[in-house]
Structure 1
């Protein structure tokens, strides 16, 4: 599939060249080809202006004409084709006030963020590498193009992008670039929370999250948010465990448990980062469950799953067990996984729907008005039936409900 994608893109380069223009692969796809990584998106740069690109490729989407970008569709695949450009003064530490199209590839490459992203390759795989990106790939270094502090003042999100590339590729950050990151770290306060969240997601979900979080702590990049700063400073020693978890919600929850967050602090930080309410509630729930279970690092023990299964359900308990396995990774023995399965399979009932009575049945049998007592009594009946041997028959359940109401009243 990756070769097919490149062959399609070569057709775009050939068409541009056949019509008198230059065209190159550029940026991340070149970096990843040189590293032998899978390439999902191919970007192309050219000295053809957007109008020329649209004329040559009728099946297109004018995705970013003000920045010189046209998305060309070939056989159902989209390729971004962008005119060589230089950028004017940046505003709000994020976007250039204006762009100007140029005819020189070198000028286009020198505006880019890092040397490993400032390489171009023609359709014969010949490299244009004016800033030593290939050497930095060999040496496993993230280095800013040109003056590092200027690059970060132009676009402060590059601070987190540097960390993200280091974490995804397990690279180091070159010392001058790292010093400039420490110097310009406060500029992240100007960046939208949604942009920060997406970079942090990629760092937390990377191949070397402990490296990424360690770099954030070292450079003070989370200083714009005291809660986020506390999270990373307190949890980074346990961040290596994240690679053993499957979902972002689990990964954030483990960091928050390591930082001794309570569910409300977890919820607050998630909402600060503009996560959805569903994500925030899921992460806060995991944090609460871990706080209740209080696993010690790499000290596995038995877990009583019965009540948790009834309260949280099978899917949440399975994910919680995944979190426990990460907490116990160096000595994990799967004891809790086996006991979870055994507890679930041994339950005669697992949900309120399976009880032989409903809330209406209880209301009629006990001749009581509707109220919060119904849900409370149903949950009591579920626990007694699932875990303590109460027969799941209408007669036994009504009788136990009568006793529970009387206990609660007296």
Structure 2
């Protein structure tokens, strides 16, 4: 059965009030593909005002575009009125929106046939543009005239490539031709929208095909920092996650971290990850990892580095199993695993807390990590008393 109890209840109540209401969007597509649907959306013939008259607890999300958030049994359910859209003078958003009562008119404005599907609460699939056939054929095809769809919103071209990455589908010939023809219009897009699509593209199992498609359709010429020599970049895909996608872009183009961060408005978390991988990438070009390296780095970081080593250097990469074995063999994996705490050091020395305490813990951590002393309280106490404290 599709949808949550609350979302099905919302459709039922709208139907009982005399309005048509259906499930729409990517969740319907994923359901038909046998995947777990997420982000369930409902479309209806009811206007925003009519939706609010049916439900007592609602929040306006953008009634000018027809969207109302219905709170049903404590769960938020997004409901949008059927609509058509006017011209797109900025290649991003419609100049005007007009509410309609026809479901087919609403589906006609959507980007691809596989997304122009609706599902009634009875289980009936509404498919006016043969989206189910394209799902079976693993084809991404624009609804109606591809050039018109991409002129309405240039981001749809990058979305098409993202669906190649996520679904493993191929682009229908006229859809692909229109992307090549209109590739230059993505210059009108905000970098935040492009970056959000790339995050999803990098997570796809077919990211390699998608990155090649960006080059083949000329979209790459309009994107910031797309590496001119991208063949090695393709070998990095698929990625562990979107972070590794950004790392691979940085290393493929030999870009500084700050340049990538600025170009794509990456977050501080993403910036720090890129800096960490770059650091260990540079280390590996000079030497193999030490005990301290294995201790400092996360397993996923070193796996990413070794994948980049294989793509961008002549060095022999270290296998994932060897990295895992080296990390598992460490006596400790963080200072929190030490058998002593600061309170015990103060008891042993009779000193109050101060700068010395952090330095002492750090010395013990280093000694245990390098197996100078076992991670056992009495052994650490003896070492601390005779080998460390007496030198202070």
TM-score, normalised with respect to structure 1: 0.77
> Counterpart of 1:108?
106
Among residues 323, 326, 329, which one is paired with 2:304 in the alignment? 323
Q: Secondary structure at the match of 1:238?
A: coil
Post-superposition CA distance 1:341-370 (Å, at most 9, x none)? 33454999999x9999999669xxxxxxxx
Superposed counterparts of 1:254-403, under 5 Å: 254-257=248-251, 259=252, 261=254, 265-294=256-285, 303-309=288-294, 314=296, 316-324=297-305, 326=307, 332=319, 334-345=321-332, 387=370, 393=384
- Which whole-Å CA distance do the structure 1 matches of 2:144 and 2:25 have between them? 16
Superposed counterparts of 1:139-150, under 5 Å: 139-150=137-148
Q: Do residues 253 (structure 1) and 253 (structure 2) align?
A: no
Post-superposition CA distance 1:321-341 (Å, at most 9, x none)? 332564679993622322233
- Which whole-Å CA distance do the structure 2 matches of 1:283 and 1:331 have between them? 20
Among residues 74, 80, 83, which one is paired with 2:81 in the alignment? 83
CA contact (8 A) 1:156 1:187 kept: yes
| Cα gap change, 1:231 to 1:319, in 2 (>3 Å) | farther
Matched length: 369
> Counterpart of 1:63?
61
- Which whole-Å CA distance do the structure 2 matches of 1:106 and 1:350 have between them? 62
- Which whole-Å CA distance do the structure 1 matches of 2:49 and 2:333 have between them? 68
Superposed counterparts of 1:118-197, under 5 Å: 118-197=116-195
Q: Secondary structure at the match of 1:100?
A: strand
- Cα deviation, residue 70, structure 1: 1.0
Q: Secondary structure at the match of 1:227?
A: coil
| Cα gap change, 1:17 to 1:344, in 2 (>3 Å) | same
Post-superposition CA distance 1:187-216 (Å, at most 9, x none)? 222111111111100000112211222222
| Cα gap change, 1:267 to 1:56, in 2 (>3 Å) | same
Superposed counterparts of 1:44-59, under 5 Å: 44-59=42-57
- Cα deviation, residue 280, structure 1: 0.8
Q: Secondary structure at the match of 2:325?
A: helix
Q: Which consecutive unaligned segments of at least 5 residues does structure 1 have?
A: 296-301, 363-374, 402-410
- Cα deviation, residue 303, structure 1: 3.9
> Counterpart of 2:37?
39
- Cα deviation, residue 116, structure 1: 0.6
CA contact (8 A) 2:228 2:253 kept: no
Post-superposition CA distance 1:269-292 (Å, at most 9, x none)? 123211112311221221221232
Mean CA deviation greater in 181-190 or 12-21: 12-21
Post-superposition CA distance 1:22-63 (Å, at most 9, x none)? 222222122112111111222122221110000001121111
- Which whole-Å CA distance do the structure 2 matches of 1:77 and 1:22 have between them? 21
- Which whole-Å CA distance do the structure 1 matches of 2:56 and 2:293 have between them? 58
- Which whole-Å CA distance do the structure 1 matches of 2:8 and 2:34 have between them? 19
- Cα deviation, residue 319, structure 1: 2.8
Among residues 206, 222, 225, which one is paired with 1:224 in the alignment? 222
- Cα deviation, residue 238, structure 1: 2.5
Q: Secondary structure at the match of 1:24?
A: strand
| Cα gap change, 1:287 to 1:231, in 2 (>3 Å) | farther
CA contact (8 A) 1:25 1:120 kept: yes
| Cα gap change, 1:5 to 1:75, in 2 (>3 Å) | farther
Q: Secondary structure at the match of 1:96?
A: coil
> Counterpart of 2:378?
none
Q: Secondary structure at the match of 2:43?
A: strand
CA contact (8 A) 1:117 1:133 kept: yes
- Which whole-Å CA distance do the structure 2 matches of 1:331 and 1:125 have between them? 51
- Which whole-Å CA distance do the structure 1 matches of 2:154 and 2:180 have between them? 12
| Cα gap change, 1:47 to 1:331, in 2 (>3 Å) | same
Post-superposition CA distance 1:241-273 (Å, at most 9, x none)? x1xx2x43234324544x1635xx233112321
| Cα gap change, 1:155 to 1:392, in 2 (>3 Å) | farther
TM-score, normalised with respect to structure 2: 0.80
